[in-house]
A and B are shown apart, each in its own frame.
Chain A
């Protein structure tokens, strides 16, 4: 029974994870955005746990736990601290409005399926079907970093992209070796801490966390 449900469950969890990325596009308040990221990380770590059980891999299970700890609790806590410290912000429209952005994201999903076709076709793993979904998550994350004005939202886009990549590795190969995974986690954590500092510095220097305020460097 589990074998039968397994691919479906994987598809569903992967889709839910990407679905939260869609919601991030429509969401404007920063705290809600952070919550969405935590939700996405939650789905991804559940998925990692399910795959770990299916593949009977203790290592992967440890990775799933680590991911949950890092991306469901620690990083959202850091970001929430940042949200509190920068205080209230004037609402700003993104470079691309939500309806158009949602539509583009839909197109990105289709693109992801097209690009990842060789992987799905050649991959014997039962999780292979969801690989394009994960890649769609990567594309949408990158897209969010491009269209949003606020530093924090851009960072969330980047983190979602990171989640998408983790998902991709997970679905295509049941995860990359342990040591690499640990290194990546460390990188992400350091990156978030650095980005947090940058949010404060941008806020200090420009009195806003709109990246659009910066734009003096040209040519």
Chain B
């Protein structure tokens, strides 16, 4: 019992503490790939500290939603980190670790962010929110279908179960449906976490920003919370991708040694995915907003094919 509480605490800490590091590493790698030196990988921590001590300016026209949202978003991410199988397949809260619950938990955060963007009544916020909702709405079907593709193979929507069964299957990566679902989910993850080619996290250009436009009114500790939450969201998505699709190294028991191995494996897998994201963001340009639906419908088709292939390809 203590062991399981301990594990949960460790997971929580990993997400909470490693998220800024992840963001910093991606930025650093991108800078290096683009021939710049880039800021230290620890820069996001400094940014957060700076924001936390600054004054939070809140528009008079806003309602409680505006103030409530940062806390909600951050706590949703922390809550999610409890149900994602990160180090072991025996998360104590695993019985709630249903993938559908998780996806909608994350959507709740998006929903409130969009509300908050509208709340201040500024033009940018509204524009950002509407774009964010378009993307969320387009990504939604893909997420569900990609999940079905995995869940059908395992026969369960429990995250723990999916990871456990995946680790048993040595030929998993030769399964076309699995790869299709991975690609589909990867594209959706990029869209949901506001990365290129859907959104550019490094820009504040009026015409192109989506996520940044939505949170433009935030400052001080509220902004710190939202940035931190965005980092955690990226971390969670990368963890999901790595453990659902490459489920090796995840501990089956709560013994210290397997957990340590799992920790190393996790660092390796998430690091590799983060590198992939950085390379991708360096090599491709942002899509015009009107072409984003093409990309997402492409990923939808891939997810659909993954489901079809489950029925036909043994």
Q: Chain A residues in contact with chain B, CB under 8 A?
A: 4-5, 7-9, 11-12, 14-16, 19, 22, 26, 97-99, 102-103, 105-106, 109-110, 113, 129-130, 132-133
Decide if B312 touches A113 in the complex (CB within 8 Å): yes
Decide if A9 touches B174 in the complex (CB within 8 Å): yes
Contact of A109 among B171, B300, B305 (CB under 8 A): B305
B171 → chain A closest CB, angstroms: 5
Decide if B305 touches A12 in the complex (CB within 8 Å): no
**Chain B residue contacts of A113, Cβ below 8 A:** 308, 311-312
Decide if A130 touches B298 in the complex (CB within 8 Å): no
Measured in the bound complex, the distance between the Cα atoms of B179 and A93 in whole Å is 30
List CB contacts (< 8 Å) of B272-314 with chain A.
293-295, 297-298, 300-302, 304-305, 308-309, 311-314
Decide if B176 touches A129 in the complex (CB within 8 Å): no
Q: Is the interface of A mostly helix, strand, loop or mixed?
A: helix
B309 to chain A: closest residue by CB: A15
Measured in the bound complex, the distance between the Cα atoms of B294 and A99 in whole Å is 5
The size of the chain B interface, using a CB distance under 8 A, is 22
Contact A98 to B305, CB < 8 A, known contacts A15-B180, A133-B313: no
9 A-B pairs with the lowest CB-CB distances in the bound complex, closest first = A15-B176, A99-B297, A8-B174, A102-B301, A113-B312, A98-B294, A106-B301, A106-B304, A12-B174
The yes or no answer to B175 lying at the interface (CB within 8 A) is: yes
Contact of B314 among A12, A16, A97, A129 (CB under 8 A): A129
Decide if A8 touches B171 in the complex (CB within 8 Å): yes
Decide if A103 touches B301 in the complex (CB within 8 Å): yes
B171 to chain A: closest residue by CB: A8
Measured in the bound complex, the distance between the Cα atoms of B106 and A149 in whole Å is 42
B314 to chain A: closest residue by CB: A129
Measured in the bound complex, the distance between the Cα atoms of B174 and A132 in whole Å is 17
**Chain B residue contacts of A22, Cβ below 8 A:** 298, 301-302
